[in-house]
């Protein structure tokens, strides 16, 4: 008997049966427009199909050029387009999978001056004012959806998903805030939903009955003036009647200011949204967002919150999520930690997506861990992310690996990251590595500080000794008030009620959150999370928003940088705003353009905008970046050895776990 009977139960759609309840949710992966993109996408999706996912949905493909995310982005408008997609659908079918193409018209979110919308109202996240569609243009746009679906069928897809959420064109028609039309497409509710219903009807008419149509319905807009719950139910019924096979859940427009998928969102927190609709329609409903373990997925299905679950990023992190669940080895799953660092942050920077914990994602054809023909003995020093990734990948290839760390636990700096409230998921990466180290027979020697002499006799030596925190040259830096972030996060240093943090990088922000957190565990408790972010879980308000209720912060914190400009500007593209809003709510004072003068009994002395200022604080926490830890590498080099350097030991500037893990894996692939 499987541990996940609901997750692994087949789903009969009439004309076809899906083998289980897992949909791979749509993600734009940035290969759609790459020169060898179709070959790489074929490998990417086929690997997920082999891993057992029930139905794959591609990244959004525009039905018309003006609806693409930006100029020249992927569209499905001609037979030639359809023929190019054949490589993808054939590869997925050969791997035993099923794949649907998402049709996405961005409307006013298109990042180009040809953007169109029901009304010429600029989105807060776009620099362009959209052109107001004429009646004739609306008719042509609906036909373009139908044509695109027909071409998707020609390309060999098993279905399409019509993207009706996240604030894209369909949402823009439905919401009165973005649709001010006075013709048959605007005004009354009936008029505003005419566009999605016409799209749905014409697509179904064009593709026939034996083709999957998933409709992604915006069930909780999280913007002022969004849909009410009654409107969501009404639309769902009408969409079903118009021919949808499955209704997927959409949560929040892109411009919403409530986190929906970041790591600080509790697992499966939004499944209540789908549950509210259960029983209102006959077609299967799909729950979404932060479903990253088979346990969470199974619970959602078993408790009747949904008929299916959609996992997107978790399948970047581990293509074998379903296969490992079915095999009863969930501990072997490489869990998505919700960081967005290599997926969404890449997409929004115009780069190909990948995954922090799985650098092979979207690089399947290029980063190959093939079995080695020459088995070598490899010593890896440092069990931080770089050393862990290198050890596991080298051992997987057949090398004999010994991994050393001076600490009693694996993880290096990551072991501190996981202690930050809201970053509990980082624990999963360390669990994954522990399982992999054991599975691949790596000889792990913890509590062992290595010197150059200990490394004689190995064929290859990898130095992954990471970083040491930088101590800035500020008079009084050795004053008892001044402590380092490692003392605070790992050493249990006492921190007073008022604090100044020197350095406002990722670690400065994390330390500010750590010190102001009141222990409410908002990232683990959905009710607390929704209370703090102002989400109306009864969905009695249009859009589902209410006033946030924030607890009093535990400490008064000042977060300081020398640079002028916005504090936190270097944080993640898609998550930085969450950290900035969070700290604002907690009353943290952000100070930019500071010159540090000294630390003494009075606190931290600064000059800001040529004005002297004293922060009368109990504690000064230093988060001023890192230096590479190279003593061992230097000793080896001096002894005539040629060690490999990875992670922070190689370059500490702009180091993060994404680079550390990628570099470790790449080196292992080349050993």
Task: Find the helix or strand (DSSP H, E) in which 632 lies.
Answer: helix 631-638
Sequence-distant (≥ 6) Cβ neighbours of residue 492 within 8 angstroms? none
Q: CA dihedral defined by 326, 45, 166, 304, rounded to 10 degrees? A: -20
Q: Distance (Å, rounded) from C-alpha 214 to C-alpha 495?
A: 53
Q: Which does 504 bind (CB under 5 to 8 A by kind): ligand FAD, ligand SF4, ligand NAP, none?
A: ligand NAP
For 226-236, letters b (16+ CB in 10 Å) and e give bbbbebbbbbb
Residue for token pair 């997927």: 248
> How many whole angstroms separate alpha carbon 293 and alpha carbon 452?
42
CB 409, CB 415: distance < 8 Å = yes
Closer CB to ligand FAD, 450 or 591, in the complex: 450
Q: Which residues pair with 403 in a beta bridge?
A: 380, 444
Question: Quick check: 387 binds ligand FAD (CB under 6 A)?
Answer: yes
Of these, 311, 317, 507, 606, which contacts ligand SF4 (CB under 6 A)?
Answer: 317
Cβ proximity to ligand FAD: between 119 and 429 the closer is 429
Which residue among 337, 378, 410, 502 contacts ligand SF4 (CB under 6 A)? 337
430 binds ligand SF4 per the rule CB under 6 A? no
> Tokens representing 628?
């590479």
Binding test (CB under 6 A) with ligand NAP, winner from 507, 545, 557, 646: 507
Partners of residue 117 on adjacent β-strands: 132
Residue number with CB closer to ligand FAD (180 or 449) = 449
* Contact of 317 with 336, CB cutoff 8 Å: yes
Q: Which helix (H) or strand (E) holds 140?
A: helix 135-154
Nearer to ligand SF4, 317 or 669 (CB): 317
State which of positions 340-399 bind ligand NAP (CB under 6 A): 341
Which of 4, 45, 109, 168 is flagged as catalytic?
168
Is there binding between residue 341 and ligand FAD (CB under 6 A)? yes
Q: What character string, x for contact with ligand FAD (CB under 6 A) and - otherwise, covers 621-660? A: --------x--x--------------xx------xxxx-x
Of 148, 465, 516, 665, which one interacts with ligand FAD (CB under 6 A)?
Answer: 465
**Which residues lie below 8 Å from residue 590, measured CB to CB, with a gap of 6+?**
504, 559, 567, 568, 583
Does residue 69 contact residue 33 with C-beta atoms inside 8 Å? Answer: no
Active site residue 109: no
Q: Verify binding: residue 656, ligand NAP, rule CB under 6 A.
A: yes
**Pick from 137, 139, 150, 107: which is nearest to 125 by CA?**
107
Q: Is 467 in the site for ligand FAD (CB under 6 A)?
A: yes
Among 456, 463, 407, which Cα is nearest to 630's? 463
Closest to ligand FAD by CB, 52 vs 412, is 412
Between 78 and 349, name the residue whose CB sits nearer to ligand SF4.
349
Interactions with ligand FAD, residue window 488-547 (CB under 6 A):
489, 506-507, 510
For ligand FAD (CB under 6 A), the number of binding residues is 38
One of 26, 227, 341, 396 touching ligand SF4 (CB under 6 A): 341
- With respect to ligand FAD, which residue has the nearer C-beta, 339 or 668? 339
Residue 500 binds to ligand NAP (criterion: CB under 6 A): no
User: Smallest distance, Å, CB 502 to ligand NAP?
Assistant: 5
- Residues ≥6 apart with Cβ < 8 Å to 499: 515, 555, 556, 557, 558, 617, 618, 619, 620, 621
Nearest residue to 529 via CA among 424, 417, 430, 419: 424
Contacting residue, 506, 518, 548, 553, with ligand NAP by CB under 6 A: 506
Q: Binding segment for ligand FAD among 164-172, 409-417, 475-483, 634-642 (CB under 6 A)?
A: 409-417
User: CB under 5 to 8 A by kind: which of ligand SF4, ligand FAD, ligand NAP, none does 21 bind?
Assistant: none
Q: What distance in Å separates the CA atoms of residue 578 and residue 624, rounded to the nearest whole number? A: 22
User: Which residues between 348 and 387 bind ligand SF4 (CB under 6 A)?
Assistant: 355-357
Indicate the pairing of strand 594-600 with strand 603-608.
antiparallel
Residues in contact with ligand FAD by the rule CB under 6 A = 339, 341, 381-387, 404-407, 412-414, 416-417, 420, 449-450, 464-467, 489, 506-507, 510, 629, 632, 647-648, 655-658, 660
Residues in contact with ligand NAP by the rule CB under 6 A = 341, 470, 472, 502-508, 510, 561-563, 570-572, 623-626, 654-656
Residues in contact with ligand SF4 by the rule CB under 6 A = 313, 316-317, 336-343, 355-357
Instruction: Give the residue numbers annotated as catalytic, written as ranges.
Output: 168
């Amino acid at each position: 008997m499987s541990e996940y009977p609901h997750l692994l139960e087949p789903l009969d759609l009439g004309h076809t049966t899906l083998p289980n309840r897992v949909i791979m949710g749509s993600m734009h992966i940035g290969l759609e427009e790459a020169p060898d993109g179709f070959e790489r996408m074929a490998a990417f999706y086929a690997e997920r199909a082999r891993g057992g996912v029930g139905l794959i949905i591609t990244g959004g493909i525009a039905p018309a050029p003006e609806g693409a995310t930006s100029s020249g982005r992927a569209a499905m408008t001609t037979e030639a387009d359809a023929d190019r997609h054949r490589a993808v659908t054939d590869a997925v079918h050969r791997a035993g999978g099923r794949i649907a193409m998402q049709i996405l018209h961005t409307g006013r979110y298109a990042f180009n001056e040809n953007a169109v919308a029901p009304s010429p109202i600029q989105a807060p996240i776009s620099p362009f004012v959209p052109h107001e569609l004429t009646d004739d243009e609306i008719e042509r746009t609906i036909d373009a959806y139908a044509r695109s679906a027909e071409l998707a069928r020609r390309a060999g897809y098993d279905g399409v998903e019509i993207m009706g959420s996240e604030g894209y064109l369909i949402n823009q028609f439905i919401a009165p805030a973005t649709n001010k039309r006075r013709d048959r497409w605007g005004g009354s509710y009936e008029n505003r939903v005419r566009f999605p219903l016409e799209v749905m009807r014409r697509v179904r008419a064009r593709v026939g009955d034996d083709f999957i149509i998933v409709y992604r319905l915006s069930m909780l807009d999280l913007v002022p003036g969004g849909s009410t719950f009654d409107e969501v139910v009404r639309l769902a019924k009408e969409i079903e009647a118009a021919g949808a096979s499955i209704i997927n859940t959409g949560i929040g427009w892109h411009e919403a200011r409530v986190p929906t998928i970041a790591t600080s969102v509790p697992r499966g927190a939004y499944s209540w949204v789908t549950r509210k609709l259960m029983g209102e329609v006959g077609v299967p409903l799909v729950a979404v967002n932060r479903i990253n373990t088979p346990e969470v997925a199974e619970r959602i299905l078993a408790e009747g919150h949904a008929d299916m679950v959609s996992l997107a990023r978790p399948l970047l992190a581990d293509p074998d999520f379903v296969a490992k669940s079915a095999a009863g080895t969930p501990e072997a799953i490489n869990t998505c930690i919700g960081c967005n660092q290599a997926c969404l942050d890449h997409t929004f920077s115009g780069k190909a997506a990948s995954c922090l914990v799985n650098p092979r994602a979207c690089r399947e054809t290029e980063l190959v861990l093939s079995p080695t023909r020459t088995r070598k003995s490899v010593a890896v020093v440092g069990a931080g992310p770089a050393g862990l990734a290198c050890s596991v990948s080298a051992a997987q290839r057949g090398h004999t690996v010994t991994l050393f760390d001076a600490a009693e636990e694996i993880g290096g700096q990551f072991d501190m990251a996981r202690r930050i409230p809201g970053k509990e998921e980082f624990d999963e990466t360390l669990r994954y590595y522990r399982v992999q180290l054991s599975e691949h027979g790596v000889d792990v020697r913890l509590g062992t500080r290595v010197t150059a002499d200990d490394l004689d006799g190995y064929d290859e030596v990898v130095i992954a000794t990471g970083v040491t925190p930088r101590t800035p040259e500020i008079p009084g830096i050795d004053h008892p008030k001044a402590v380092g972030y490692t003392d605070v996060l790992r050493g249990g240093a006492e921190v007073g009620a008022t604090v100044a943090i020197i350095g406002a990088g990722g670690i400065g922000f994390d330390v500010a959150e750590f010190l102001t957190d009141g222990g409410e565990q908002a990232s683990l408790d959905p009710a607390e999370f929704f209370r703090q972010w102002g989400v109306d879980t009864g969905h009695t308000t249009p859009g589902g928003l209410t006033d946030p209720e924030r607890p009093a912060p535990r400490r008064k914190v000042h977060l300081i940088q020398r640079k002028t400009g916005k504090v936190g500007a270097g944080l993640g593209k898609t998550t930085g705003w969450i950290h900035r809003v969070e700290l604002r709510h907690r009353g943290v004072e952000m100070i930019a353009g500071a010159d540090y003068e000294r630390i003494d009994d009075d606190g931290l002395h600064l000059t800001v905008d040529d004005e002297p200022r004293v922060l009368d604080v109990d504690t000064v926490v230093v988060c001023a970046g890192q230096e590479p830890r190279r003593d061992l590498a230097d000793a080896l080099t001096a002894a005539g050895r040629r060690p490999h350097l990875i992670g922070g030991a190689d370059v500490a500037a702009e180091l993060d776990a994404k680079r550390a893990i990628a570099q470790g894996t790449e080196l292992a692939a080349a050993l």
